Structure 1
């Protein structure tokens, strides 16, 4: 019997039992399992084989990146382009396999980077960047690496006039929600400043000495979370 796939929010995933190794970032749940043995690459490769065996029947394939330092895994249910109960079950199974192989989760190694370019809505800019990067275009504003390896590319409307000296290009860095303040503190200690925290905890805008911007962002406050809050309010009526 096939278990029905049910959509879950980032909050529901994070609150679930057995997913302490995992963090929700852009488009899915992520984990990094560090390999620390003398034969770390072989240790990681064996773990990747374990993951392949786990999904052989379901074909609910995660994205897996093997390096000598360890293995990065991303889970998402592609049919709904979001997290589901199926991802919860697989996250628990992958964590168990990692523990058996002696790999240790390291949430500090998890992040997703996106480049954002400000442009007027009707400018024919996206085809240029699509050709330059060799990316695919899943919607009207985003470009992504077809193998999901490198930073995504996002075209947004021109910045509002009340945000002076803001560059036309900036970098978004999604980090685990329990790592965000450490990342911000590190940026400030390195000479940066908090330029805008009005959207926190969804994102904080920081700037360097030349006013180049970076948005440090978490899943807190994002649409899927707000949608669940709205549903809860509706159920309470």
Structure 2
């Protein structure tokens, strides 16, 4: 029987940020991300061409979103967004070539949006959300756009249970060094702080009591025991 190759060792956000040359990148939901501002569509296309040359050499493909004002990149190793050493190497080399072509890093433009859907104990609503959105299941609780364009759906139980009451809130993943400014802006615009965690997230209610979670924790995550479990 042919032996399967061992999966790459998972890299935590802290380990990723410790690598030299990745200062432009932030770890949000679903991987490590970078944004580079540019001077028009032709310039953006030139930046993508430089990225493509690195991809061919490294052998690891990122997601790239191209707009006339800039390009956004995301790299990951596992479908759940986990990172490995090849992501850090790709990030380092991409940063070098994109900066050389005049791309200007701006982490304040990075954000990943998610929908958190509550369900009662013993109920599974993820198949419904996957069907209605055309999404695919990832791990035990998430559903994602197979093209990774649109917000993910995270399904969780209500605690305490509230049978028959479907609830949703919005999850916003931003760089750790941008989170406090985002929270302050939301509060200044009429939001109300409901909860805060020393681990890097804030729950905010809108003036009409809509729930929003602003999460900085993916960018500082360093749970060695989780990393070891994911590598099993």
- TM-score, structure 2 normalization: 0.86
Relative to structure 2, which stretch is displaced further, 121-130 or 188-197? 121-130
Relative to structure 2, which stretch is displaced further, 17-26 or 52-61? 52-61
Paired residues in the alignment total 220
Aligned residues of 1:143 and 1:153 also touching (Cα < 8 A): yes
Q: Greater RCO between the two (CA within 8 Å, min separation 6)?
A: 2
Give secondary structure in 2 for the equivalent of 1:182: helix
Which consecutive residues of structure 1, in runs of 5 or more, have no partner in the other structure?
A: 232-237
- In 2, Cα distance between equivalents of 1:221 and 1:176: 6
Give secondary structure in 1 for the equivalent of 2:56: coil
Q: Could you say if the C-alpha distance between residues 103 and 81 of structure 1 is closer, same or farther in structure 2, counting changes exceeding 3 Å?
A: closer
- In 1, Cα distance between equivalents of 2:11 and 2:227: 14
Relative to structure 2, which stretch is displaced further, 130-139 or 74-83? 74-83
Q: Could you say if the C-alpha distance between residues 169 and 121 of structure 1 is closer, same or farther in structure 2, counting changes exceeding 3 Å?
A: same
Is 1:212 the counterpart of 2:186? The answer is no
Give secondary structure in 2 for the equivalent of 1:48: helix
Which consecutive residues of structure 2, in runs of 5 or more, have no partner in the other structure?
A: 1-6
2:198 paired residue number:
200
Q: Could you say if the C-alpha distance between residues 221 and 25 of structure 1 is closer, same or farther in structure 2, counting changes exceeding 3 Å?
A: closer
Aligned residues of 2:13 and 2:219 also touching (Cα < 8 A): no
- In 2, Cα distance between equivalents of 1:109 and 1:143: 24
- Quote how far apart the aligned CAs of 1:221 are: 9.0
- In 1, Cα distance between equivalents of 2:31 and 2:111: 12
**From 6, 11, 23, the counterpart of 1:8:** 11
- In 2, Cα distance between equivalents of 1:208 and 1:220: 24
Q: Which has the higher strand share?
A: 2
Aligned 1:47-66 pairs, distance under 5 A: 47-66=47-66
- Quote how far apart the aligned CAs of 1:5 are: 5.0
- TM-score, structure 1 normalization: 0.84
- In 1, Cα distance between equivalents of 2:206 and 2:113: 17
Q: Deviations over 1:36-67 (max 9, x none)?
A: x2xx1111111111111111144310011111
